[in-house]
Amino acid sequence: MIKGYKKIIDETLVSYFDEILENKTHLYAKKTIEAMKYTTCLGGKRLRGILCLEACRLFSNDYFLAIPASCALEMLHAQSLIHDDLPSMDNDDLRRGKPSNHKVFGEAFAILAGDALISLGAQIIADKTSKTIPNERILKAIREYLIAAGIYGIVGGQTADLEAEKSTLNLRDNEDYLNYIQTYKTGALFEASVAAGAYIGGADNEKIRILKEFAKSFGIAFQMADDILDVISTSKEMGKTTGKDEYENKLTYVRKYGLEGAKQKLILQIQSAYDILKRENLESSVLNELIEQIKKSVF
Amino acid sequence: MIKGYKKIIDETLVSYFDEILENKTHLYAKKTIEAMKYTTCLGGKRLRGILCLEACRLFSNDYFLAIPASCALEMLHAQSLIHDDLPSMDNDDLRRGKPSNHKVFGEAFAILAGDALISLGAQIIADKTSKTIPNERILKAIREYLIAAGIYGIVGGQTADLEAEKSTLNLRDNEDYLNYIQTYKTGALFEASVAAGAYIGGADNEKIRILKEFAKSFGIAFQMADDILDVISTSKEMGKTTGKDEYENKLTYVRKYGLEGAKQKLILQIQSAYDILKRENLESSVLNELIEQIKKSVF
């Protein structure tokens, strides 16, 4: 099921970009469109898109309805990677084992590609979601996307992350601060993914609240694993530069709790994600497998 | 009327940002929020917001309904200024007579501020537009905003602009190319401004099509005047670095037609904007005055 979801997301993303590239009207904007396509279609696990499709299927039994939204969320994720990798941000040359966006297209076009991905994703939810879905639900799905994109999401988390790096204050001892970074930088997009899918699938507000609680927990587990892998993996295995967190004075779970402490925290976090689903009767083979993948990546 | 519109837009923008800054949850994201506020609240003529309010008033007699959308469009405009001024783009140190965003907050936070303004604007239309407006119309207003923000608008135009600068091809003789840059870089946001206001005001599709035709014409006149002023004004008068177009090999109306030729074109373009309004019975003192202001700025 996960493989099937991933395939649909990968193929639909390519088709969306090719549709835009084939439109002769936008011939002069080609370079930015190609930069947008480059990072978005570089692969990856498509976790956000899969969460969106599965959340929709849980309530409608028809994940097809959420394909545009799932692609939109992957575009937003790609946007955050492109801008995070910029020289003035994390200055990373490698992404998914390939040169990062600005290394291929230059800084200006990488900035423009990120900018345009933010609006394109939301526009795709508006334009390509089936007209059988009420406007109110489409609007709510777009709103979740927008919140994750900005100050209440990715940008808020990245701001706190940069501030921690550059700060002379001892933010490392501030657990609240670490949680803020991770909740917003990573968690918000996972929350938006399940919420957008669930709105399109017809879920009620209470179910959406619970799914978001799960996504938040899942997101923290994901980030803990990512922090641990940055220490224990090689760049080749990860497809991105590893060992950088330490070097760049990043505030991470490993820095805060030590490697073994972070592993202990991860086990508890994974259990908490399982528990939410079980308690609320929202278990599914796809969600269980996604949690299992995080566990296997580290242990 | 124009002064009143501008005052409402200026004050509402400040109140929106203060509301976010007062929310303690986002304490750690403060620096980016302050960067967003800095450029958005730096003043300016508020042309896009005024066009939005007036378009709404034409059809509903109640411009208040479009206040959130008008502020959103000014946020999007600020976003384009922040990112355009970046070192890797136009590398401009001055904006509205003040240091540009990255000069005050640094490049990373200027990029993040721009990113977050794109989503915040759309979110404000979704959240703050009166619930008396049908969701379908709010969705359409947001769609206009998103289109102007991305590859079909600002980003598309800026891409073509950068390509022209860096290209070894002789794009200067390509009138089609010059029109593309101006239509998308400047015109798209004017079109979105009238369309968003008109949707919220309840206009039918035909009236919106005509208003967009006017906005396109108005936008070209505005850009012609801007190109002319870049040559004939001082930086102090303009509040931004002038004379840069020539220096940076920018493709402008003055470069293409010469100073006198561009002035002739501007006169025709202003007449065309007037004609559209007259022909369609959409004249209003506000729209007439906005056109008149462009004329007076040059002649």
The predicted complex's ipTM stands at: 0.94
Is the CB of A36 less than 8 angstroms away from the CB of B151?
A: yes
Mean per-residue pLDDT, A88-102: 93
Q: Nearest by CB to A156, which of B29, B106, B177?
A: B29
Q: What is the pLDDT of residues B225-254, one digit of tens each?
A: 999 998 888 666 666 666 667 666 677 888
Query: What does the pLDDT average to over A262-283?
Result: 94
H or E element that contains A156: helix A154-166
The residues facing A99 across adjacent strands are A94
- B-chain residues near A107 (CB < 8 A): 88
Most trustworthy range by pLDDT among A110-114, A295-299, B41-45, B246-250:
A110-114
Q: Is the pLDDT of residue A8 over 70?
A: yes
pLDDT of residue A183: 85
Chain A contacts of B136, Cβ < 8 Å? 135
DSSP letters along B238-288, please? HTS--SHHHHTT---HHHHHHHHHHHHHHHHHHHHHHHHHHHTT---HHHH
Asked if residue A80 has pLDDT above 80, the reply is yes
pLDDT at site A248? 65
Do the chains contact at A116 and B162, CB–CB below 8 Å?
A: no
Low-confidence ranges of chain B (pLDDT < 50): none
Residue of A nearest to B131 (CA): A136
B142, B146, B147, B181, best to mutate vs chain A, most A CBs in 10 Å = B146
For B61-78, what is each residue's pLDDT tens digit?
A: 999 999 999 999 999 999
* Residue from B28, B37, B139 to probe the interface with A (highest A Cβ count within 10 Å): B28
Closest Cα of chain A to B288: distance in Å?
A: 31
Model confidence at A222: pLDDT above 60: yes
Q: How confident is the model at residue A59 (pLDDT cuts 50, 70, 90)?
A: very high
- Residue identified by tokens 């930015």 is A32
pLDDT score, position A253: 87
Are the beta carbons of B163 and B169 closer than 8 angstroms? no
Tell me the mean pLDDT in the region A178-187.
86
pLDDT surpassing 70 at residue A114? yes
- Interchain contact, A106 vs B116, CB within 8 Å: no
- Phi/psi of residue B286, each to 5°? -65, -50
Cα B290 versus chain centre, distance: 14
What pLDDT shows up at residue A236? 60
Total domains in the fold of chain A:
1
> Testing the interface with A: which of B19, B36, B85, B88 to mutate, by most A Cβ within 10 A?
B88
Task: Mark yes or no for CB contact B26/A152 under 8 Å.
Answer: yes
- pLDDT at A238 > cutoff 70: no
CB contact under 8 A, B89 and A83: no
Residue type at B23? N
Q: Which of A44-48, A174-178, B85-89, B196-200 has the lowest mean pLDDT?
A: A174-178
What CATH number did the domain enclosing A237 receive?
1.10.600.10
Owning domain of residue A50:
2-298
Residues A104-123 have a mean pLDDT of: 98
State the pLDDT confidence band at A169, using cuts at 50, 70 and 90. low
Mean pLDDT of A23-51: 93
pLDDT of residue A130: 96
pLDDT at position A284 is 93
The helix/strand/coil state of B94 is: strand
Q: Indicate the length of chain B as a whole number.
A: 299
Q: Give this prediction's pTM.
A: 0.95
pLDDT at A42: 94
* A180 to chain B, closest Cα gap in Å: 8
Q: Do B109 and A162 touch (CB under 8 A)?
A: yes
Kindly list the residues from chain A whose CB atom is less than 8 angstroms away from the CB atom of residue B77.
none
